[in-house]
Amino acid sequence: MILNTGGRTDTVQYYSEWLLNRFREGYVLSRNPLFPNLVNRIELNPDTIDVVVFCSKVYSPILGRLHEISDRFNCYYHYTITAYGTDIEPRVPSIRQSIDTLKLLAAQVGREKIAWRYDPVLLTEKYTVQRHMDTFEFMARELAPYVDRCIFSFVEMYKKLETNMPELRPVSEADKLRLAEGLGAIARQYGLLLQTCASTDKYEQYGIQRSGCMTAEIFSQALGVNFKKATHKGNRKGCACMESRGLGDYNSCPNGCRYCYANKDHRKALENYRRHDPSSPLLLGNILPTDIIKPARQTSLLDKEPKLF
Give pLDDT tens digits for 168-180.
999 999 999 999 9
pLDDT at 289: 96
Mean pLDDT calculated for residue range 293-309: 82
pLDDT at 309: 46
pLDDT at 146: 98
Domain boundaries along the sequence of the chain:
2-295
pLDDT at 245: 92
User: From the DSSP assignment, how many helices (H) and strands (E) are in the chain?
Assistant: 9, 11
* Total Cβ atoms within 10 A of residue 67: 13
Given a cut of 70, is residue 238 above it in pLDDT? no
Identify the CA nearest to 55 among candidates 177, 213, 171: 213
Give pLDDT tens digits for 70-84.
999 999 999 999 999
In percent, how much of the chain has pLDDT > 90? 81
- The Cα–Cα gap between 120 and 156 comes to 8
Give pLDDT tens digits for 132-143.
999 999 999 999
* Whole-prediction pTM: 0.94
| Strands 114-121, 149-154: pairing kind | parallel
Instruction: Please give the mean pLDDT across all residues of the chain.
Output: 93
Write the DSSP symbol of residue 156: P
Which residue has better confidence, 211 or 296? 296
Given a cut of 70, is residue 240 above it in pLDDT? yes
Segment among 170-179, 192-201, 270-279 with least mean pLDDT: 192-201
Kindly compute the dihedral angle of the four CA atoms of residues 90, 96, 102, 104, in this order, to the nearest 10 degrees.
-120
Q: Give the long-range contacts of residues 223-230, CB within 8 A, separation 24 or more.
A: 223/51, 223/74, 223/75, 223/76, 223/113, 225/50, 225/51, 225/74, 225/302, 226/302, 226/303, 226/307, 227/50, 227/301, 227/302, 227/303, 228/301, 228/302, 228/303, 230/301
Given a cut of 70, is residue 124 above it in pLDDT? yes
In percent, how much of the chain has pLDDT > 70? 95
Residue 227 bridge partners (DSSP): 302
pLDDT band of residue 232 (cuts 50, 70, 90) is low
pLDDT at 137: 98
Mean pLDDT calculated for residue range 278-294: 96
DSSP secondary structure letters along 36-48:
TTEEEEEE--TTT
pLDDT at 231: 62
